[in-house]
């Protein structure tokens, strides 16, 4: 079921996540969803956690989803989808359904890293045949930019604001991709809309593997990142090239870096265009900015080592 | 041919679920429900049902998964108690809002704090406004019969709503009683095949379940839910009629016991009704016209019919095995609402009994009926709300 990786061919395909949704202009999330939905020719059923994507894509009788889609609540896209997938298996086993169907859950970082983590971990442990895709914009953007456990070190959010005493978030973000890999599942990956072919291939590959799969995709939010409306792809590319958001996959426990930046540039290049890090560029916060760079370097070194060892 | 057995309420319900053979079951343990789902898991393990189980990590995920499975298109069950039902609370609203006919035995148990695992109606009463149909059961036989009837009610094309079958924790779930099982084929024929309605897995016609509804329509959706509830009573009665033809056991929306000519009456739910009936017989022998009303359909609440059944009594005590702190017991509030439109109403009082599994003794029923008899004579209620069986 491979769709060729050619824009000419892809442009002929029917949109499964259509235009007319009401996401903010310049939002990274619908780009991620569109690529992921184009990456398979299988029939798919989608489950969606409450969040920007959900409230903007299905309002009253208007839906942007051209596939069966279900939203129940914030913390349970994985549990809900595990129910759909189980009924599918039950009906197939009983001979009441004979089509091959794939299952995808979409959740933001709040619904995935935080409130939805138990439901995600549970569904993954049970081994449901589905892909969970997290679009990570680094905060609770839907409710107005409150910190999540995916919020990067030093970021200014409405619940960890950069004030005169506390300069934004003082904790590192949770490394959810690694945590999901520790569930010992067939496939875990990190991707970015800037490298759409890489994202595309990862979704394609995940669909071909049986069992639970997890893909974490960076999704810039110009409202929360306080960046320019047309910066989403540029910023996600900088996230990759600074190694703030390395692109890699862990297949059957084997780590592989899928995109290595030609030149690893300072993380400040990714941060400068974003208002949420503005305060880090004042002299008194020099130490914190340095810490951000050290954390990125440390994680990148770890990843290189893991990929090399394997 | 009915088979007479000696089983616990949990075992009886697990057997009813086996006979129905649902497509998907969410399983999570909680005392005193655990034993029911363990038994059902054994039926799955031994190939006695086709059911696929989802061995979830919490009740919240159990109900979420049941919602996903029911929306996908098939027959879905789960069971819970107490804290488990409380953890499901958010999802209970979503199951009914999406009109998914999930069947869930609820083994009634008290809520924390303080932690208590025993029989009490606080759990189901807390879920009374979640849009679920509720059937209540006096004993193992009723729990078994209600569970079978629940599928027909929930899955009726005019209804399509989730349903709870309530029974008292330990008192019913763990006590062995004489019970009559129906034949497997009888149950299968009675319940019939699952009929789909807008299944998510209909790939040719993609549906979007769970949209955002703003101020322009939400109000209308909620009113529609109420409208559907008004149709439930007739379906419950129709299903009961069919069930009686098959089993010989008669069910209504409530049970009246020696109520037709009663001067005084007790309104009480579930297992305590049995004890009360015995004491009522003793009072009748003494020439005191006592009676009992035991609600079976608690949601939707049959206000008119209950008011009609109680209208000729002089004094009524509504007994609640759950409380609403700073207010009256939940059943009392329903009965008071039911009686309010009557011009001539009985005098009412509310007794809170049996919280957290505290024994409800025949002496408590004697105490209440004696007080009711005095109220009927004097026309005066001394204490409107009181606790009985409390250690002073």
Q: A252-298: per-residue pLDDT in tens?
A: 999 999 999 999 999 999 999 999 999 999 999 999 999 999 999 99
The string of pLDDT tens digits covering residues B231-264 is: 999 999 999 999 999 999 999 999 999 999 999 9
Chain B residues in contact with A183 by the CB 8 A cut-off are: none
Mean local confidence (pLDDT), B79-98: 98
For the purposes of burial, counting CB atoms within 10 Å of the CB of A127, is it exposed (0-12), middle (13-18) or buried (19 or more)? Answer: middle
> What chain B residue is nearest to A93 in terms of C-alpha separation?
B50
Residues with Cβ within 8 Å of A16's Cβ and at least 6 positions away in sequence, in order, are: A37, A38, A44, A65, A66, A67
Looking from the CA of B4 toward its CB, the CA atoms found within 13 Å total: 1
The string of pLDDT tens digits covering residues A110-134 is: 999 999 999 999 999 999 999 999 9
Residue whose pair of structure tokens reads 């370097």 in the numeric block = A297
Cβ pair A119:B61 closer than 8 A? yes
Tell me what pLDDT residue A148 has: 98
Tell me what pLDDT residue A7 has: 85
pLDDT surpasses 60 at A310 = no
A61 touches chain B (CB under 8 A): yes
Residues with Cβ within 8 Å of A70's Cβ and at least 6 positions away in sequence, in order, are: A45, A46, A47, A48, A80, A81, A84, B68, B71, B200, B208, B209, B210
pLDDT surpasses 80 at A3 = no
> What chain A residue is nearest to B65 in terms of C-alpha separation?
A83
Distances (CA, A) of B381 to A63, A199, B376: 59, 74, 9
Q: What span, in angstroms and rounded, lies between the C-alpha atoms of A204 and A37?
A: 10
For the purposes of burial, counting CB atoms within 10 Å of the CB of A284, is it exposed (0-12), middle (13-18) or buried (19 or more)? Answer: exposed
Mean local confidence (pLDDT), B112-123: 98
- B165, B150 Cβ separation under 8 angstroms: yes
Mean local confidence (pLDDT), A21-35: 97
Q: What is the ipTM of this complex?
A: 0.97
B98's tokens: 């999406």
CB pairs under 8 A between A and B: 159
- DSSP E strands in A163-209: the ranges are 187-191
Q: What percent of chain A has pLDDT over 90?
A: 94
The string of pLDDT tens digits covering residues B200-213 is: 999 999 999 999 99
Count of CB atoms within 10 A of residue A175's CB? 17
pLDDT-derived band of residue B97, with 50, 70 and 90 as boundaries?
very high
Tell me what pLDDT residue B243 has: 98
The residue among B72, B281, B133 whose CA lies nearest residue A96 is: B72
pLDDT surpasses 90 at B99 = yes
Mean local confidence (pLDDT), A130-155: 98
Computed from CA positions of residues A262, A264, A267, A268, in that sequence, does the dihedral angle turn out positive or negative? negative
Mean local confidence (pLDDT), A239-252: 98
A80 touches chain B (CB under 8 A): yes
- As a whole number, the mean pLDDT across chain B is 98
Count of CB atoms within 10 A of residue B344's CB? 8
Q: What span, in angstroms and rounded, lies between the C-alpha atoms of A206 and A217?
A: 14
B97's tokens: 């809002």
Closest CA of chain A from B64, distance in Å: 5
A244's tokens: 């703030």
Q: What span, in angstroms and rounded, lies between the C-alpha atoms of A93 and B23?
A: 10
A100 touches chain B (CB under 8 A): no
Q: What percent of chain A has pLDDT over 70?
A: 98
pLDDT-derived band of residue B90, with 50, 70 and 90 as boundaries?
very high
B252 touches chain A (CB under 8 A): no
Helix (H, G, I), strand (E, B) or coil at A213: strand
Out of A15-19, A301-305, B173-177, least confident range: A15-19
The string of pLDDT tens digits covering residues B297-320 is: 999 999 999 999 999 999 999 999
Count of CB atoms within 10 A of residue A100's CB? 8
Residue whose pair of structure tokens reads 């799969």 in the numeric block = A213
Chain A (269-308) residues lying within 8 Å, Cβ to Cβ, of chain B: none
Mean local confidence (pLDDT), B124-148: 98
Main-chain dihedrals φ then ψ at residue B342, nearest 5 degrees: -70, 140
- As a whole number, the mean pLDDT across chain A is 96
- A112, A132 Cβ separation under 8 angstroms: yes
CA A152 to chain centre: 14
Q: What span, in angstroms and rounded, lies between the C-alpha atoms of B44 and B29?
A: 16
Q: What span, in angstroms and rounded, lies between the C-alpha atoms of B148 and A107?
A: 38
What SS3 string covers chain B? CCEEEEEEHHHHHHHHHHHHCCCEEEECCCCCCHHHHHHHHHHHHCCCCCCEEEECCCHHHHHHHHHHHHHHHCCEECCECHHHHHHHHHHHHHHHHCCCCCEEEEEECCCCCCCCCCCCCHHHHHCCCCCCEEEECCCHHHHHHHHHHHHHHHHCCCCCCCEEEEEECCCCCCCEEEEEECCHHHHHHHHCCCCCCCCCCCCCCCCEECCECCCCCHHHHHHHHHHHHCCHHHHHHHHHHHHHHHHCCCCCCEEEECCCCCCEEEECCCCHHHHHHHHHHHHHHCCCCEEEEEECEEECCCHHHHHHHHCCCCEEEEEECCCCCCCCCHHHHHHHHHHCCCCCCCEEEEEECCHHHCCCCHHHHHHHHHHHHHHHHHCCCCCCEEECCCCC
Secondary structure letter of residue A173 according to DSSP: P
- A171, A153 Cβ separation under 8 angstroms: yes
The residue among A66, A15, A29, A44 whose CA lies nearest residue A207 is: A44
A41 touches chain B (CB under 8 A): no
pLDDT surpasses 60 at A222 = yes
A117 touches chain B (CB under 8 A): no
Mean local confidence (pLDDT), B355-377: 98
Determine the residue among B98, B209, B221 to mutate to test chain A binding: the one whose Cβ has the most chain A Cβ atoms within 10 Å.
Answer: B209
B170's tokens: 């330990």
């Amino acid at each position: 079921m491979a769709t060729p990786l050619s824009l000419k061919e892809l442009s002929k395909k029917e949109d499964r996540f259509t235009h007319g949704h009401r996401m903010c202009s310049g939002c990274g999330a619908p780009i991620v969803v569109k690529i992921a939905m184009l990456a398979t020719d299988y029939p798919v059923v989608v489950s969606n956690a409450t969040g920007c994507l959900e409230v903007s894509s299905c309002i009253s009788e208007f839906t942007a989803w051209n596939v069966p889609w279900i939203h129940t609540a914030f913390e349970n896209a994985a549990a809900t989808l595990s129910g759909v997938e189980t009924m599918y298996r039950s009906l197939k086993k009983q001979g009441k359904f004979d089509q091959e169907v794939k299952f995808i859950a979409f959740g933001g970082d709040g619904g995935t890293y935080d409130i939805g983590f138990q439901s995600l971990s549970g569904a993954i442990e049970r081994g449901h045949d589905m892909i969970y895709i997290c679009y990570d914009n680094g905060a609770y953007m839907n409710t107005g930019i409150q910190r999540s456990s995916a919020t990067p070190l030093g970021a200014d959010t409405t619940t960890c604001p950069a004030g005169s005493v506390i300069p934004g978030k003082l904790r590192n973000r949770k490394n959810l991709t690694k945590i999901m890999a520790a569930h010992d599942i067939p496939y875990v990956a990190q991707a970015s809309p800037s490298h759409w072919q890489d994202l595309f291939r990862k979704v394609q590959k995940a669909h071909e593997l049986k069992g639970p799969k997890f893909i974490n995709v960076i999704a810039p939010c110009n409202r929360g990142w306080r960046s320019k409306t047309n910066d989403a792809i540029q910023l996600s590319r900088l996230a990759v090239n600074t190694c703030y958001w390395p692109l890699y996959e862990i297949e059957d426990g084997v780590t592989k870096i899928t995109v290595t930046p030609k030149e690893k540039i300072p993380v400040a290049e990714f941060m400068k265009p974003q208002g949420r890090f503005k305060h880090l560029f004042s002299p008194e916060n020099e130490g914190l900015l340095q810490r951000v760079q050290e954390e990125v370097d440390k994680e990148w070194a770890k990843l290189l080592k893991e990929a090399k060892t394997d | 041919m009915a088979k007479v057995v000696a089983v616990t309420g949990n075992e009886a319900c697990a057997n009813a679920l086996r006979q129905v053979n649902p497509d998907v079951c969410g399983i999570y343990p909680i005392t005193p429900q655990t034993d029911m789902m363990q038994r059902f898991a054994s039926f799955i393990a031994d190939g006695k049902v086709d059911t696929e189980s989802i061995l979830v990590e919490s009740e919240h995920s159990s109900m979420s998964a049941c919602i996903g499975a029911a929306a996908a298109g098939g027959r879905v069950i789960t069971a819970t108690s107490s804290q488990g039902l409380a953890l499901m609370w958010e999802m209970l609203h979503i199951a009914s809002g999406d009109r998914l006919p999930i069947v869930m035995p609820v083994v009634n148990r008290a809520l924390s704090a303080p932690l208590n695992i025993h029989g009490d109606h606080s759990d189901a009463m807390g879920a009374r406004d979640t849009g679920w149909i509720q059937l209540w059961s006096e004993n193992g036989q009723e729990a078994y019969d209600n569970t079978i009837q629940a599928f027909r009610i929930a899955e009726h094309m005019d209804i399509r709503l989730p349903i709870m079958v309530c029974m008292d924790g330990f008192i019913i779930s763990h006590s062995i009683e004489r019970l009559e099982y129906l034949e497997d084929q009888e149950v299968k024929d009675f319940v019939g095949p699952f009929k789909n309605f807008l299944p998510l897995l209909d790939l040719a016609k993609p549906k979007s379940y769970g949209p955002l509804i703003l101020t322009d329509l939400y109000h209308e959706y909620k009113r529609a839910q109420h409208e559907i509830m008004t149709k439930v009573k007739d379906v419950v009665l129709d299903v009961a009629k069919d069930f009686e033809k098959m089993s010989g056991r008669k069910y209504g929306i409530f049970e009246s016991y020696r109520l037709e000519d009663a001067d005084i009456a007790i309104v009480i739910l579930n297992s305590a009704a049995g004890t009360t009936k015995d004491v009522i017989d003793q009072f009748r022998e003494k020439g005191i016209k006592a009676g009992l009303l035991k609600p079976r359909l608690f949601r939707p609440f049959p206000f008119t019919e209950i008011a009609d059944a109680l209208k000729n009594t002089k004094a009524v005590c509504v007994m609640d095995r759950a409380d609403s702190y700073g207010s009256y017991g939940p059943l009392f509030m329903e009965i008071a609402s039911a009686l309010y439109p009557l011009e001539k109403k009985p005098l009412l009082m509310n007794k809170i009994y049996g919280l957290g599994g505290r024994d409800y003794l025949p002496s408590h029923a004697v105490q209440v009926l004696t007080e009711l008899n005095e109220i009927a004579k004097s026309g005066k209620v001394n204490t409107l709300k009181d606790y009985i069986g409390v250690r002073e």
